């Protein structure tokens, strides 16, 4: 199958491949995930009746949100913004949790047009993939203005003299760090694409809730 991501996706993947000497299989895998997201979005948007129920709107939104966070995480690695990478990764983990919740009970899909508690997303992510809950907790310490976020740009130089190095601004990751960051995004993308693919064929979820959109084309 020919892999033809959008130009922005292709550019960032090629840049990361060169910068972090990524394996070709990893790059192709992420490109396939981008293609899968685009195909799913088109399928969910065009299948069925012209009246789109709330559940279908939610599934479309989850697909789009996944794409935005995945491309955002890749961009953040390219420019050395570890805080944004952490936020994107945490967001992707919560999307995985949302997919788990909806697959467990398709009728709750419309609830995601309102507020869904972060704790429920964390618990569902942990059920779907043990260990993700702990990962979310750790990422929260970086995303939220807590100790890990505050101290991210500070490195102790000499404990006895209480001297430290302060770093301001972006910091490009090492080849190892960058490669690991891409692998994390690729693994999450694979997990979420699998769940979204199941949701895209789940009529109980797509048809749940009241009509929200009338498709005119």
Record the tokens describing residue 4, joined without a space: 């033809």
Render pLDDT for 161-187 as a digit per residue (tens, 0 to 9): 778 888 788 889 999 999 999 999 999
pLDDT at 141 over 90: no
Q: Say what the pLDDT of residue 215 is.
A: 67
pLDDT bracket for residue 216 (50, 70, 90):
low
- Residue 38 CA: distances (Å) to CA of 32, 54, 136, 167, 184: 10, 20, 27, 39, 21
For residue 191, list its beta bridge partners: none
Render pLDDT for 90-133 as a digit per residue (tens, 0 to 9): 999 999 999 999 999 999 999 999 988 999 999 999 999 999 99
* Contacts with 10 (C-beta within 8 Å, 6 or more apart), sequence order: 4, 31
- Residue 199 CA: distances (Å) to CA of 36, 73, 102, 109, 192: 13, 23, 8, 10, 10
The number of beta carbons lying within 10 Å of the beta carbon of residue 89 is: 24
Query: Where along the chain do its domains lie?
Result: 8-144+172-210
Mean pLDDT across the chain, nearest whole number?
Answer: 90
Q: In the block, which residue shows the tokens 């929200």? A: 212
Report the C-alpha gap between 208 and 210 in whole angstroms.
7
Q: Which residue has the higher pLDDT, 39 or 51?
A: 39
Segment 193-202 shows an average pLDDT of: 96
Q: Say what the pLDDT of residue 208 is.
A: 92
Prediction pTM value: 0.90
Are 73 and 11 a contacting pair, CB within 8 Å?
A: no
Q: In the block, which residue shows the tokens 């891409």? A: 182
With b meaning 16 or more CB within 10 Å and e meaning fewer, what string describes 11-34? ebbeebbebbebeeebbebbbbbb
Report the C-alpha gap between 215 and 52 in whole angstroms.
7
């Amino acid at each position: 199958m020919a892999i033809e991501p959008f130009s922005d996706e292709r550019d960032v993947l090629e840049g990361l491949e060169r910068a972090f000497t990524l394996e070709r299989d990893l790059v192709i895998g992420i490109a396939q995930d981008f293609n899968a997201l685009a195909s799913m979005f088109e399928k969910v948007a065009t299948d069925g009746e012209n009246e789109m129920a709330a559940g279908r709107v939610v599934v479309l939104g989850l697909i789009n949100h996944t794409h935005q966070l995945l491309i955002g995480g890749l961009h953040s690695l390219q420019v050395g913004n570890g805080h944004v990478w952490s936020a994107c990764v945490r967001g992707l983990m919560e999307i995985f949790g949302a997919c788990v919740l909806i697959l467990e009970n398709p009728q709750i899909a419309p609830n995601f047009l309102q507020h869904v508690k972060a704790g429920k997303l964390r618990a569902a992510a942990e059920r779907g993939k043990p260990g993700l809950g702990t990962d979310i907790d750790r990422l929260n310490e970086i995303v939220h203005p807590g100790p890990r976020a505050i101290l991210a740009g500070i490195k102790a130089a000499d404990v006895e003299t209480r001297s430290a190095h302060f770093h301001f601004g972006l910091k490009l990751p090492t080849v190892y760090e960058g490669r690991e960051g891409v692998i994390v995004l690729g693994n999450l993308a694979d997990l979420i694409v699998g769940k979204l693919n199941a949701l895209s064929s789940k009529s109980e979820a797509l048809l749940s809730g009241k009509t929200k959109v009338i498709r005119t084309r």
